[in-house]
Structure 1
Amino acid sequence: MSLQQLLEILSDGEFHSGEQLGSQMGVSRSAVWKQLKKLQEIGVDHYSVKGRGYRVPGGLDLLCTQRLASHLSGKAAAELQTVELQLSTGSTNALALDGVSQGRKQGNLYLAECQTAGRGRRGRSWVSPFARNLYFSLSWTFTEGAAALEGLSLAVGLAISKGLENYGVQDVTLKWPNDLLHDRKKLAGVLLEMTGDASGVCQVVIGAGINVSMSDNDADRIDQPWTDVKRAMSIPASESADRNYLLAEILNELIPALQRFSVQGFEPFRENWMKRDAFLGQKVVLQTQNQQLQGVEQGVDEKGALQLKTEDGIQAFHGGELSLRLQQ
């Protein structure tokens, strides 16, 4: 008996008695009870009613590698070497980096229903409740060294925004260098980590977290304005978003984008990125490690560097420990 089996049975949101669960899973009721305790440990709310059994209110939209594969384009499917799904992990980026160290360097996808140590940029934690959002990391190999990777996070964000749009999320905007917004609220984020030869062949782990169906309890732990796919699409609370289909739409855009970036760099993505630039032409504050600059955001150059018009003219800023926000 596995926790996965129990989750699949309870995912319909209906009541299931302990006897029924034991029969379906081929175990004793005490073994079922032990697995039910584990549900609480991974953050799956459930309750029981005497005479009716156990139920997960609202059910669960579980990730499924087979359902994901059924929605992938031929081009995306051809580039995926492995797809590894975990119920819970520290972070999918850590899984991917471990995979790279073991020789799985290109086209390996790591998924998790929840993360216990999800990470964003600048060391921030990423709130990662069970079966609510999308957390994935994809390993990819580049041959031209770290310098040729400038603008990669922007190309990744653009591809994810297109995947969201294909799913039905309209008006997604991009905040340099790693965030996706909807109605000026954070919808998704990207975290890239590199290993290998900085001047030659290197591997990049492309991590992404996309808010899909956050609960109010989870939201209490987020320290900035946020939204999710359900809210952006005005999906009723009683209905769920199809995370397998959404992830497939994202990968159908992301994988071809990585292939193109490998050959052409950021320049061919620049025009479309600028069209979605959340802060273009607006007064912003850029926080660097040493100073705080005010100016008017002018988009990005052909390499993805932020263009900021200040009293000293237009200055270019590259990725790193930088934070961009609107001027109050």
Structure 2
Amino acid sequence: MDMQALLSLVADGEFHSGKDLGDVLGVSRTAVWKHAQKLESLGLHLESVKGKGYRLPGGLELLSREKILAGVDASAKSLLSELDVLSTIDSTNQHAMQRIESQSSHGYVCLAEYQTAGRGRRGRTWVSPFGSNIYLSAVAEFEGGAAALEGLSLAVGVALVRALKSCGVEGVQLKWPNDLLWQGRKLAGILLEMSGDVAGPCQVVVGVGLNVTMPERSAEDIDQPWVDVASIVPDYSRNQLVAAMLTELLPLLDSFQQTGFAAYKDEWEAMHAYQNCDVLIQTIKMHEQGEAIGVTGVGALRVLVDGVEKQFSGGEVSLRSVPS
């Protein structure tokens, strides 16, 4: 018996006796108890009450491949080559990167309930509690190497805002180059990783982490203001959110080679959290302060510094707002 099988039975939030669980799973009540203890390692507390059995307080919406596929738009679904829904993994991006080393994977998407080594931008850890948020990676193939990818992370941000809006999550803004914010707090992050020829055929893994129902105990490890979908809208479904994300993301990845970021530039600027605001630009070697005035057609940030426009690209550049 694996923990996923037990979770699927207690995900409804109702009490289930140890005997009933053991009968369904084909194990002893002692084995059920042992697996219930193991759930604690995933941050899940399975309540046990004598005479009633076990329950997962509040229940849990597990990711369902079938429900996700049922919610994806038909035209987007035609661009999906394979969808993997995994339980526990080191990192969805790492899993996708390992896959593209051995085979062509355009249109491949993987999700995980739990990441043991989730990664964010600039080497940061992405806090990834079990069954709470969305950890998704998608693969796309491009010709032209790194040059063909300019502005891709910003365009992905636009697609994600569209998806969230279709699910009733309004007011989401974009922070250059990889974050989604709501009222100044981080809601989601994007991580792009490339494999292949930097000047020719390459494959890109687009990783997305979206906070949906972040447990407070997990949030203690987050070093910046954050927010989750549950704090913004009362009714939500992780499976519905994933379906909406794929409906927007897959067509973007399929057409970006032809359209480039220019097709998303105006929409991105309209969602820019720091548009016409004072910002601080930092790298290892320099600090600049100025007014953010938008982005270029390839996604570079435009900043007025002492009346002179300067442009900054991604990589190790950090952007912060300057309090007024």
TM-score range, shorter chain: over 0.9
Structure 1 window deviating more from structure 2 (31-40 vs 261-270): it is: 31-40
Structure 2 residue 250 is the aligned partner of structure 1 residue 274 = no
Map of 2:239 onto structure 1:
244
Structure 1 window deviating more from structure 2 (78-87 vs 14-23): it is: 78-87
Secondary structure of the corresponding residue to residue 79 of structure 1: coil
Structure 2 residue 297 is the aligned partner of structure 1 residue 302 = yes
Structure 1 window deviating more from structure 2 (287-296 vs 104-113): it is: 104-113
Map of 1:140 onto structure 2:
140
Secondary structure of the corresponding residue to residue 165 of structure 2: helix
Structure 1 window deviating more from structure 2 (311-320 vs 273-282): it is: 311-320
Secondary structure of the corresponding residue to residue 266 of structure 2: helix
Map of 1:115 onto structure 2:
115
Q: Within 5 Å, give how 1:207-222 maps onto structure 2.
A: 207-222=207-222
Does structure 2 retain, via aligned residues, the 8 Å contact 1:42–1:88?
no
Does structure 2 retain, via aligned residues, the 8 Å contact 1:68–1:248?
yes
Q: Within 5 Å, give how 1:74-153 maps onto structure 2.
A: 74-153=74-153
- Post-superposition shift, 1:312? 5.7
- Post-superposition shift, 1:260? 2.3
Cα distance in 1 for partners of 2:73, 2:104 equals 22
1:4-48 deviations in Å (ceiling 9; x for gaps): 221111000011111010111122222222322221122211120
Secondary structure of the corresponding residue to residue 127 of structure 2: coil
Cα distance in 1 for partners of 2:155, 2:252 equals 7
TM-score for both structures, normalised by structure 1:
0.96
Structure 1's consecutive aligned runs of 4 or more residues displaced over 6 angstroms after TM superposition are none
Cα distance in 2 for partners of 1:104, 1:31 equals 42
Secondary structure of the corresponding residue to residue 140 of structure 1: strand
**Uncovered stretches (5+) of structure 2, i.e. residues with no partner:** none
Cα distance in 2 for partners of 1:186, 1:257 equals 23
- Post-superposition shift, 1:104? 4.0
Cα distance in 2 for partners of 1:322, 1:78 equals 36
Cα distance in 2 for partners of 1:29, 1:146 equals 55
- Post-superposition shift, 1:51? 1.0
Does structure 2 retain, via aligned residues, the 8 Å contact 1:114–1:130?
yes
Amino acid at match of 1:277: H
- Post-superposition shift, 1:69? 0.6
**Uncovered stretches (5+) of structure 1, i.e. residues with no partner:** none
Structure 2 residue 180 is the aligned partner of structure 1 residue 185 = no
What's the RMSD between the two structures over aligned residues? 1.1
Secondary structure of the corresponding residue to residue 298 of structure 1: strand
Amino acid at match of 2:298: K
Paired residue for 1:293, among 288, 308, 312? 288
Cα distance in 1 for partners of 2:248, 2:97 equals 23
1:195-231 deviations in Å (ceiling 9; x for gaps): 0011111000000000001122122111111101111
User: Matched residue pairs, number?
Assistant: 323
- Post-superposition shift, 1:105? 2.0
Cα distance in 1 for partners of 2:65, 2:43 equals 22
Structure 1 window deviating more from structure 2 (255-264 vs 6-15): it is: 255-264
Structure 1 window deviating more from structure 2 (60-69 vs 31-40): it is: 31-40
Secondary structure of the corresponding residue to residue 129 of structure 2: coil
Structure 2 residue 266 is the aligned partner of structure 1 residue 261 = no
- Post-superposition shift, 1:2? 2.8
Amino acid at match of 2:221: R
Cα distance in 1 for partners of 2:49, 2:22 equals 17
Amino acid at match of 1:63: L
TM-score for both structures, normalised by structure 2:
0.97
Q: Within 5 Å, give how 1:135-174 maps onto structure 2.
A: 135-174=135-174
Secondary structure of the corresponding residue to residue 78 of structure 2: helix
Does structure 1 retain, via aligned residues, the 8 Å contact 2:167–2:236?
no
- Post-superposition shift, 1:319? 0.8
Secondary structure of the corresponding residue to residue 294 of structure 2: strand
Cα distance in 1 for partners of 2:63, 2:192 equals 23
Cα distance in 1 for partners of 2:57, 2:43 equals 13
Secondary structure of the corresponding residue to residue 230 of structure 1: helix
